[in-house]
């Protein structure tokens, strides 16, 4: 009887807790913003962004191709179409060439894994409205019905989950440039919600239920409010009832004026990298190609960021409490071009030696050094170590730092080696004598690990 009674109590308690739990967030920002950030995201630091869609077919200019072409007859996009395609050729005509002929999701998974990325975010649907999964709300304008005849979202999700520990996430554009339902709502000053109710929200729920992304990266609210989008209701569902409710993170692009104010992490603008500490978790979404998110055939070598540039952006971001989400744009065939692949593999090579200064770290008291430029700090979660990532090898192997205060107990090493480096106090900080450059294990940037740092 007692056993039965306690079983009932346990069952009722569990039920009560799950009821409380299920009701824990309501559709208000006060409530949604009270949700603690899932820690995997704070620890991950580095992810890969993938922009892929019909824009990968013309592969010219950037992923805003359709919009630029249709909204200006004097743009390079309009000229490109006039010069190369017969009159009457439509954007939809590009879809048949989106074949994804050489798309091997296992190869992508291997490249992402070797980059050291802890999460990946794929454009499930960009502003063109074409879905990379067979959405029933995007009939005949999805990857199963026209183009590759494959479920690209599902294939990548499976490959990532099968062979890596990378967390799978999805980008989704709320608006669509030319969707007549959206244009009708817009013409009604967003007083009607046909597009939201018949298209974008049903498909977003479908996307989350089908693929269980643990990052929901929303984009393109344009000048419509979160109320128009029914975004707060979606997020309350995402956090309370969705299959990813305990682990999912969502960004801040859910309505006009919300960027940088709400959501699990801020994406204040593209390439956002403020250079100082932002207390709320944020993300710097950045690109290997300086001028485009989608692959473009007219990019030259100087359009691609060097590994040194990418590392500077990664470490400054992480030092200031950001995550770094680096974009690659695969070709219409589904190939990540060798230069973009190389950058990812170089990041992984660097992280395999210096990852301790990046993954699972927290911001330190200082972000950049007070004395010299090109040095960014992090600390270990247990606060035992402070790391200084040094972007330029010091002249004569001697580095003077202004920010850390050390004690006689302190040790200083370069990641990749156990060898203790000599250090001295100076009038304005410390001076560290590096090993020779040939002895250093790392390339491109170097991470000092310091113990017993007092501020
Ligand atoms: C929603 O949650 C917030 C914060 O917890 C609370 O202040 C507010 O009263 C709640 N609103 C409703 C309608 O329950
Ligand atoms: C471009 O030219 C066509 C044909 O003259 C015209 O119908 C269209 O309105 C023009 N578009 C813009 C954005 O000016
Ligand atoms: C995934 O993580 C587990 C546990 O940390 C580890 O044993 C395994 O090797 C990892 N797998 C890959 C492919 O990295
Ligand atoms: C939204 O922006 C578009 C173009 O950017 C404009 O045509 C439209 O009038 C705007 N609507 C509102 C309600 O501000
Ligand atoms: C440290 O300081 C002492 C005394 O000022 C000096 O003799 C020594 O050369 C310095 N060592 C380094 C590595 O700078």
- The atom number, within ligand 2, closest to the CA of 78 reads 1
Mean pLDDT of 242-265: 97
Number of H helices and number of E strands within the chain? 14, 14
Which carries the bigger pLDDT value, residue 194 or residue 22? 194
* Minimum CA distance residue for ligand 3 atom 2: 165
- For residue 189, give the ligand 4 atom closest to its CA: 13
Q: In this prediction, what percent of the chain has a pLDDT beyond 70?
A: 95
Confidence band (pLDDT; 50, 70, 90) for 226?
A: very high
Return the ligand number nearest the Cα of 426.
5
Q: Ligand 5 atom closest to Cα of 424?
A: 1
Closest ligand 2 atom number to CA of residue 73 = 1
- The second-level CATH assignment, the architecture, of 2-357 is Alpha-Beta Barrel (3.20)
Q: Is the CB of 114 under 6 A from ligand 3?
A: no
What distance in angstroms lies between residue 107's CA and the mean position of ligand 1's atoms? 46
Q: Decide which of 286 and 19 is more confident.
A: 286
**Residue 195 confidence (pLDDT) above 70:** yes
Range from 17-31, 45-59, 205-219 carrying the lowest mean pLDDT = 17-31
Strand pairing class (446-451; 412-414): antiparallel
Ligand nearest to the CA of 117: 3
Q: For residue 23, what pLDDT band results from cuts at 50, 70 and 90? A: low
Question: Of ligand 1's atoms, which has the minimum distance to the CA of residue 27?
Answer: 1
Instruction: For the chain, give every domain's residue range.
Output: 2-357, 375-451
CB 118 within 8 A of CB 131: no
Strand, coil or helix: 160: helix
Output the CA 30–ligand 1 centroid distance in Å.
7
Task: Give the pLDDT band of residue 455 (cuts 50, 70, 90).
Answer: confident
CATH number 2.60.40.1180 is the correct assignment for the domain at 375-451: yes
Higher pLDDT, 445 or 6: 445
What percent of the chain stands above pLDDT 90? 94
pLDDT, tens digit, 9 for 90 and up, residues 382-428: 999 999 999 999 999 999 999 999 999 999 999 999 999 999 999 88
Tokens for 242? 């969705």
Q: Cα separation of 69 and 53, whole Å?
A: 16
Ligand whose nearest atom lies closest to the CA of 109: 3
How far from 360 is each of 8, 342, 427, CA to CA, in Å? 41, 25, 33
Q: What is the mean pLDDT of the chain?
A: 95
Ligand 4 contacts (CB < 6 A) are 186, 189-190, 223
Average pLDDT score over residue span 240-263: 97
Report CA(165)–ligand 3 centroid distance (Å). 6
Residues with CB under 6 A from ligand 1: 26, 28, 30-31, 34
Please tell me the predicted confidence (pLDDT) of residue 454.
87
Half-sphere exposure of 154 (CA within 13 A, CB side): 13
Widest Cα–Cα separation across the chain: 85
pLDDT single digits (tens) 285-338 = 999 999 999 999 999 999 999 999 999 999 999 999 999 999 999 999 999 999
Buried b (16+ CB within 10 A) or exposed e, 26-42: ebebeebeebeebeebb
Q: What is the pLDDT of residue 20?
A: 47
Distance from residue 163's CA to the centre of ligand 3 (Å)? 9
| Predicted pLDDT of residue 64 | 98
pTM of the complete model = 0.93
Task: Show the DSSP H helices in 139-230 as ranges.
Answer: 152-163, 180-187, 194-195, 201-211, 226-229
Which of 73, 78, 82, 178 is the best mutation target for the ligand 2 pocket, counting ligand atoms within 8 Å of the beta carbon and taking the most?
Answer: 73
User: What is d(CA 289, CA 426) in angstroms, rounded to the nearest whole number?
Assistant: 42
């Amino acid at each position: 009887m007692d056993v039965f009674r306690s079983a009932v109590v346990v069952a009722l308690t569990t039920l009560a807790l799950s009821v409380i739990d299920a009701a824990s967030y309501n559709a208000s920002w006060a409530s949604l913003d009270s949700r603690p950030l899932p820690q995997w995201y704070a620890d991950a630091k580095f992810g890969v962004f993938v922009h892929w869609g019909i824009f990968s077919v013309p592969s010219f200019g950037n992923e805003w191709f359709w919009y630029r072409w249709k909204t200006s007859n004097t743009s390079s996009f309009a000229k490109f179409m006039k010069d190369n395609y017969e009159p009457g050729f439509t954007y939809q005509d590009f879809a048949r060439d989106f074949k994804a002929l050489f798309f091997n999701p296992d190869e992508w998974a291997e490249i992402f894994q070797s980059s050291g990325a802890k999460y990946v975010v794929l454009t499930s649907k960009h502003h063109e409205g074409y879905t990379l999964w067979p959405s029933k709300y995007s009939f005949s304008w999805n990857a199963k019905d026209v183009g590759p005849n494959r479920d690209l979202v599902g294939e990548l999700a499976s490959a990532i989950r099968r062979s890596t520990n990378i967390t799978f996430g999805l980008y989704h554009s709320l608006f669509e440039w030319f969707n007549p339902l959206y244009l009708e709502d817009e013409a009604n000053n967003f007083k009607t919600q046909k597009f939201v109710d018949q298209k974008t929200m049903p498909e977003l729920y479908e996307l989350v239920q089908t693929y269980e992304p643990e990052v929901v990266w929303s984009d393109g609210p344009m000048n419509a409010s979160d109320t128009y989008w029914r975004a707060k209701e979606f997020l309350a569902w995402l956090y309370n009832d969705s299959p990813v409710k305990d682990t999912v993170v969502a960004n801040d692009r859910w309505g006009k004026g919300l960027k940088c104010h709400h959501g699990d992490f801020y994406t204040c603008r593209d390439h956002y990298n403020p250079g100082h500490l932002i207390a709320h978790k944020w993300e710097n979404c950045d690109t290997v190609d300086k001028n485009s998110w989608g692959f473009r055939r007219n990019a030259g070598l100087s359009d691609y960021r060097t590994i040194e540039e990418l590392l500077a952006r990664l470490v400054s971001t992480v030092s200031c409490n950001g995550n770094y989400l680096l974009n690659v744009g695969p070709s219409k065939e589904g190939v990540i071009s060798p230069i973009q692949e190389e950058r990812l593999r170089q990041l992984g090579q660097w992280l395999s030696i210096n990852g301790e200064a990046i993954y699972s770290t927290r911001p330190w008291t200082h972000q950049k050094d007070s004395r010299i430029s090109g040095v960014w700090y992090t600390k270990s979660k247990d606060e035992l170590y402070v790391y200084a990532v040094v972007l330029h090898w010091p002249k004569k192997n001697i580095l003077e730092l202004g920010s850390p205060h050390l004690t006689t107990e302190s040790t200083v090493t370069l990641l990749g080696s156990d060898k203790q480096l000599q250090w001295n106090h100076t009038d304005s900080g410390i001076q560290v004598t590096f090993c020779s450059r040939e002895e250093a294990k790392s390339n491109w940037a170097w991470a000092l690990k310091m113990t017993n740092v007092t501020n």
